[in-house]
Amino acid sequence: MAIKTGQDYIQSLKGRKLTVYLFGEQVQDPVEHPMIRPSINAVAETYDLAAREEDLASPMSKISGKRVNRFLHIAESANDLVLQNKMQRKLGQLTGTCFQRCVGMDALNSLHSTTFEIDEKHHTNYHKRLLAFIKKMQEENFVIGGAMTDVKGDRSKAPSEQADPDLFVHITKRTADGVYVTGAKAHQTGVINSHWMIIMPTIRLLEKDKDWGIVGAIPVDAPGITYIYGRQSCDTRSMEEGDIDAGNSQFAGQEAMVILDNVFIPNDLIFMNGEVEFAAMLVERFTCYHRRSYVCKTGLGDVLIGAAAAISDYNGIPDVSHIRDKLVEMTHLNESIFAAGISSSYQAQEMKSGVWLNDDMLANVCKHNVTRFPYEISRLAQDIAGGLVVTLPSEQDFRNTTTGPLLKKYLAGRKGTDVENRMRILRLIENMTLGRNAVGYLTESMHGAGSPQAQRIQIARQMQLGYKKNLAKNLANVKEDAEESKENSDYFKRVFKIPK
């Protein structure tokens, strides 16, 4: 039966035979583990939102002919991409963390156009296979994780040049029925909470890297997969009594390393197999979608701005001019992120396959803003909150019969403010800027979908300096002969390493 609600989703994760390690021990029941469960709750919210707000999160799909979760939908218009962004911001507001489904959504959409163009050149049938897979995912309403980031080893060498070939996921054996793959994927968001994962190349590949040019879908409980759960700051607080010190006890993100040891992928679930000239296309289209998907951080930003405003109320200074100005600055930065991302979606164009792809320049501007602005928003939130963000005593001290009354007396804020509520807001600010969900708000903002330099490279490739110089020269009535004009153009391409 297809998953409909968040509770159905949680139930679908029970009883699976996953090999998951955390703190050096195998986890017998990931669903009920106190450190893992908040991340499951965040994914469950994506189902409940889809049920509550169909127009936002449950579009009609041409592939299945049914309403589907937007995280499984292929964008059929620019408006579909805009609604993705609005849904992502809403979910950020509801959870205050990473809800873990954007990578899978962006993988499906980027593969839609890429498989179509591989088939066009090589007369393969990858696109047909992909459509069948998407239809199945939509009908069952599964969670898909996208596995792109390899562990990479020596970054100066191509996959086939590594001392250990397993440092990039690659094919170890080919059979008439499919292939076997070995390697590892790092920083995999929500992978243990997914039903399927799609493995993809992480970089441009050379002709000699054919065995690394593999894209395929794998059930997360397939034989040969081991998951090693990633640590996050203050993560063990979720295993303590009480819920104040966790900051956000309901929801959290999830990152894990995935080890693949001769994992089988059948032919009907392979969507690229050695067509290495299309690896860069896939990576670039995926990052185009995914860098604009980082408008999700504006939902988290809304929560943090709200927390900063709340603590200023509790401290009795909501109308002090410098506090108001800091809240204005936080809002300005947050909306600047959203503006670039949603503009990228509005500027989308239809691809040959029928999927719509957002504007790449604006997507990279969006993500580049994300590598900076959440850090400043966090700094301002800490500034407004004060030193208690990092010196607040524990909930156990607050509950203690000796120290509790002392804390209630000396942690009082504005008259009428409940001390426990003040502590809860302080812990939320700590959680989002220093603690567990700082991963979803800050570290992901820096490194997710590529490092800041990756965005700068894409921006340099598309900033059209030659065209813009001509605009200036035309207005200034500059006259150049053909040779000088060509020299200027060649210099621009050489300095900014623009491919021919």
Residues tagged active-site: 98, 102, 189, 255, 290, 294, 296, 444
Under DSSP, the state recorded for 413 is -
Dihedral over Cα of 150, 154, 159, 165: its sign: negative
Cβ pair 50, 70 in contact under 8 A: yes
The H or E element spanning position 341 is: helix 321-346
3-state secondary structure of 242: coil
Cβ pair 114, 126 in contact under 8 A: no
Residues shown for the chain: 500
| Dihedral angle over CA of 37, 39, 42, 44, nearest 10 | -50
> 482 exposed, middle or buried (CB, 10 Å; 0-12, 13-18, 19+)?
exposed
Cβ pair 240, 254 in contact under 8 A: no
Cβ pair 294, 409 in contact under 8 A: no
The H or E element spanning position 78 is: helix 78-95
The H or E element spanning position 171 is: strand 170-174
- Give buried/exposed letters for 281-303 (b at 16+ CB in 10 A, else e): bbbebbbbbbbbbbbbbbbbbbb
- Report CA-CA distances (Å) from 498 to 5, 207, 278, 482, 493: 48, 21, 19, 21, 5
- Rounded distance between C-alpha atoms, residue 7 and residue 217, angstroms: 25
Would you tell me the crossing angle of helices 373-385 and 419-433 to the nearest 10 degrees?
150
Tokens 């999700």 identify what position? 296
Q: Residue 190: how many CA atoms within 13 Å on its side-chain side? A: 33
> 99 exposed, middle or buried (CB, 10 Å; 0-12, 13-18, 19+)?
buried
Distance of CA 20 to the CA centre of its chain: 22
Q: Locate 54 and state its tokens.
A: 């169909």
